[in-house]
Amino acid sequence: MTIDPTTLSLEQKAALLSGRDFWTTKPIDDAGVPSIVLTDGPHGIRCQEAGQDHLGIHGSRPATCFPPAVAVGSSWDPDVAARLGAAVGREARAFGVAVVLGPGVNIKRSPLCGRNFEYYSEDPLLSGVLGAAHVNALQAEGPGASVKHFAANNQETERMRVSADVDERTLREIYLPAFERVVRDADPATVMCSYNKVNGVYASHNRWLLTDVLREDWGFRGAVVSDWGAVSDRVAGVLAGMDLEMPGSGGATDAQVVEAVRAGRLDEALVDQSVRRVVALTALPYEPTGNLDVEGHHALARELAAESVVLLKNDGEVLPVRPGTRLAVIGAFATAPRFQGGGSSHINTTRTDLPLEEIRTLAGKRDVTVTHAEGFTVDDEGDADDLRAGAVRTARDADVAVVFAGLGDRQESEGFDRDTLLLPDDQVAVIREVAAVAPRTVVVLSHGGVVSLEGWHDDVDAVVEGFLLGQAGGGALADVLFGVVNPSGHLAETIPLRLEDNPSWLNFPGEQGHVRYGEGVLVGYRYYATAGVPVRYPFGHGLSYTSFATTGLEVEATGDDRAVVRVTVANTGDRAGKHVVQLYVSTDTGPVRRPLRELRAFTKVALGPGETRTVELVLDRRAFAYWDVERGEWVVPAGLYAVQICHNAYEVSAQATITLTGDPVVRELTLDSTVGDWFSHPAVGPVLTERMRTGMTEEHARQAAENPDGLKMVESMPMRQFLAFTNGAIAPDTLEQLMPLSTTPVPAK
C-alpha cells in the first residue's frame, strides 16, 4: 500500500520507523497499515515462533537449507543463484514472510572472516551477478529481499563498532559494486545497513552511504533496514536515510524521533519519506500460501549443491569412483555432515542427507563395496590414536579411501573470525596416515572459510572442495564422487599457500577500533596475481571429468569504450559437462595503478561430448574504468587494453588487445601543478617546450645541455617552487598565457 503520511500523527509515523519486536513491524490499525514479518535468510527461511534471537540460538520452523553463498559463489552460475532465490521466495510465502534477510554480498577480504560462508566471493562482479540473480528470482515470487550488509562489513571481530577505514577508490571498485549491481539490476525491496562504521561514521547513520551513494548515485527506491541492533543514534539515522530500525526498541527511539522533530532538529519531511518507504513494504505480494514443497525443494537443494562442488585435484583420474572399487569412507563428517554455518542464517532443516548413506545407495548400484571408519571426532571426544588406527586399518583393505575432513561449528561461525587456516591436527594426521597406506586417497572438504591444504595436499590423489552445501550436500557429494554429476564449480576465492600471503594480513582485523584496508583495490587474486605470489589454487580454478578447449577469441570495439567478445568453447572429452568462460581485462594505461587483471565477464556453458558453442560476452564502459577520486567519477583512460580468456586468475589461455579512445578529461594547470604535469600536458606541453627553448638564456641552454636528465629530477616539483628555484628559466607570464589552453578536454592518460 501507499500512504499519505500527513494523515498520521507524528507519534504514529515515528512508530512505523522501528520494529514491534524481533521480526515484525508495527501495525497502525486506524490507517489500515498491517504488520509484516522480516526474517533470515539468506539460503533458507529461519522463521522463529517462540524464543527469538538474531544469533540462531533458538529454534525455528523446519525449512529447506539450500547451499549457502560460499557454495553458490563456487557454482559461478547465476542460474543456480536464481533457482535458489526463487525457492527461498516460495518458502517465504509458505510462512507468510514479507522480507527475507539476504543475500549477503560482502567481499571476502580475509579468508579468516567467520562469515565468509555467507558471502559469495573475493570478486565484486561474481558477487554482484549472483546476488542480483538471487534477488530478482526471490522477488518474482512476491516477497522482498534485503541485500546486506551495507557496507564494508568484512570481518566479525568488533563488527558492531569497528571503523572500516577504506579509501574511496577501493570502496567504489571493490566493496560497493556488488551492492550497486543488485540495486540497479534487481531493485531489492530493502538494503540492510551494516553494524560497523565506514571511515568513522556508523553505516546506520552514514548519509554519504545511505543517501548520496545508494539513492542518488544508484537510484535505490526501497527501504533501508538496520542490521539487528545496529542503531546507535536513531535521529542521526533518519537524517541519513535509514528508514526502519530492527528489532524494536520498545518505543524508546520512536520518542527520540518525535522529540527531535518537535525541537526542530529533524525535518518532519524526512520522517514522512521513511514512512512511505516502510509502508510500501506492506504492499509486497507475500500472502501466505501454506505450501512447503519439502520433497521438491530437497531434490532442488541436492541439484544446486552438486553444481557448486569444486574438483581441485584429480591425479590419475581417481574420480569418478569406478565400478567394482572397494571404497573406504573415513571421517566424522561422513556421518555428521557440516553443511551450513552458525549464527543468524542457521536453518532447522526439513531433513539432512548423510554422505555415508548416500554413498552406500549409489555404491549398491555399481558393485562398489563400502567400509567405514570414524577416523576422528569433531568435538574432541574419543581417543584420537584409536580412531586414527581404525581409519588406517580400514584404508589398508580398500582400493580408494575417501576422507571427509573439514571444520566444525565451534571452529567458525558468524560472530567471530578464525585465527588460522589450518585443519585440526588430528584430521591432518588421519589424512596423512590413510594416504600412506591406501592405494588411492581422496579428501572431501566441508568448511565455510578457506582452509590450508598444506602439509597433506601432495600426499593425496584428489581433493573435492565441498565448502558448505546445504541439507542435501551429502547426496550432492555422492553424485560427484560417482560421476552422476560432472563437477563444474570453480573457486570464487584464492586458496593461498600461507595465511601471511593474503594481502589483508598486515591489517586484519585491525586495532584500537579501526581496521585499515591498506591493500586498497588489491584484494584476493588482484593482489596475488599482480605480485606474482605463488598460491595453492588460484581464484577461478576448477576441474571437470571432461576437458574443454576455447578457441577463436574475437574482440570487437563497439564504440563509446564498449566491446563485444566472442569465443568458441568445445567439450573435447567423452562426457557431458559445464565450462565457465572467464574473461578478464588487463591494462596499465591511466594515472592509477591497476591490478594485473580483473574479472569483467563470465558465463557457464553446458556441452555434450564433442559439442561446440560460440558465446558472446559484452564489456561495457565499467569493464575498463577506474574510480577517479579527483573527478569523483568513473573514468576510462585512453590506451591499450588486453582482453584475456583465462583458466583462472593466473593462467591466460587466449588474449586480444583493443585500443580505446577513453574519456576526455580537463587537466587544468595552475602554479601548483607539477613541472611534470605542465610538460606532459598534451595541449600545453609542446608549446611550453618550444617557448622555453627559444627564450632560454645562453647560460640556461648550457646547463640544460649538460644535464639532459634535469627535468626528470624536478618533475614532481610544483611549478611555483620551480620558478623560484630556477630564477627565470620560464617567464611567469608565459605560464599565465598558457593556462587557458589547459582547460580544453584531452584524452585521459
Where in 526-585 is the site for ligand BGC (CB under 6 A)? Answer: none
Q: Using the rule CB under 6 A, which residue among 274, 344, 446, 488 binds ligand BGC? A: 344
Kindly tell me which of 274 and 345 has the beta carbon lying closer to ligand BGC: 345
Distance CA 84, CA 300 (A): 8
Compute the least distance from the CB of residue 43 to ligand BGC, in Å.
12
Distance CA 250, CA 21 (A): 8
Q: Residue 223: what residue type?
A: A
Beta strand 548-559 with 562-571 is antiparallel
Task: Based on the shown chain and the rule CB under 6 A, indicate whether residue 134 belongs to the binding site for ligand BGC.
Answer: no
- Indicate the helix (H) or strand (E) that contains 570: strand 562-571
Number of residues that bind ligand BGC (CB under 6 A): 8
Grid look-up 571444520 returns: 407
Kindly tell me which of 155 and 546 has the beta carbon lying closer to ligand BGC: 155
Where in 31-50 is the site for ligand BGC (CB under 6 A)? Answer: 40-41
444 pairs with which residues across the strands?
A: 404, 464
Kindly tell me which of 344 and 550 has the beta carbon lying closer to ligand BGC: 344
Check if 574 is active-site.
no
Quick check: 452 and 499 in contact, CB under 8 A?
A: yes
Nearest Cα to Cα of residue 101 among 225, 219, 187, 185: 225
Binding mask 448-487 for ligand BGC (x = CB under 6 A): ----------------------------------------
Where on the phi/psi map is residue 175: left (φ > 0), alpha (ψ -120 to 50), or beta?
alpha
Q: Is 482 helix (H, G, I), strand (E, B) or coil?
A: coil
Task: Based on the shown chain and the rule CB under 6 A, indicate whether residue 228 belongs to the binding site for ligand BGC.
Answer: yes
Q: Is 390 helix (H, G, I), strand (E, B) or coil?
A: helix
Task: Based on the shown chain and the rule CB under 6 A, indicate whether residue 677 belongs to the binding site for ligand BGC.
Answer: no
Kindly tell me which of 41 and 241 has the beta carbon lying closer to ligand BGC: 41
Distance CA 276, CA 268 (A): 12
Kindly tell me which of 228 and 626 has the beta carbon lying closer to ligand BGC: 228
Compute the least distance from the CB of residue 38 to ligand BGC, in Å.
8
Compute the least distance from the CB of residue 685 to ligand BGC, in Å.
53
Distance CA 488, CA 10 (A): 56
Residues 40, 77, 123, 227: which is the catalytic one? Answer: 227
Compute the least distance from the CB of residue 259 to ligand BGC, in Å.
28
Q: Residue 410: what residue type?
A: R
What's the sign of the alpha-carbon dihedral 319, 323, 328, 330? positive
Task: Based on the shown chain and the rule CB under 6 A, indicate whether residue 54 belongs to the binding site for ligand BGC.
Answer: yes
Compute the least distance from the CB of residue 35 to ligand BGC, in Å.
17
Q: Which three cell numbers stand for residue 113?
A: 572472516
Q: Using the rule CB under 6 A, which residue among 227, 243, 479, 519 binds ligand BGC? A: 227
Kindly tell me which of 53 and 511 has the beta carbon lying closer to ligand BGC: 53
Distance CA 306, CA 310 (A): 9
Where in 90-119 is the site for ligand BGC (CB under 6 A)? Answer: 101
Compute the least distance from the CB of residue 534 to ligand BGC, in Å.
35
Distance CA 706, CA 744 (A): 35
Task: Based on the shown chain and the rule CB under 6 A, indicate whether residue 298 belongs to the binding site for ligand BGC.
Answer: no
Kindly tell me which of 256 and 344 has the beta carbon lying closer to ligand BGC: 344
Compute the least distance from the CB of residue 470 to ligand BGC, in Å.
18
What's the sign of the alpha-carbon dihedral 509, 512, 515, 519? negative
Angle at 379 between CA 378 and CA 381, to 5 degrees: 110
Which residue ranges make up the site for ligand BGC (CB under 6 A)?
40-41, 54, 101, 148, 227-228, 344
Q: Which residues are catalytic?
A: 227
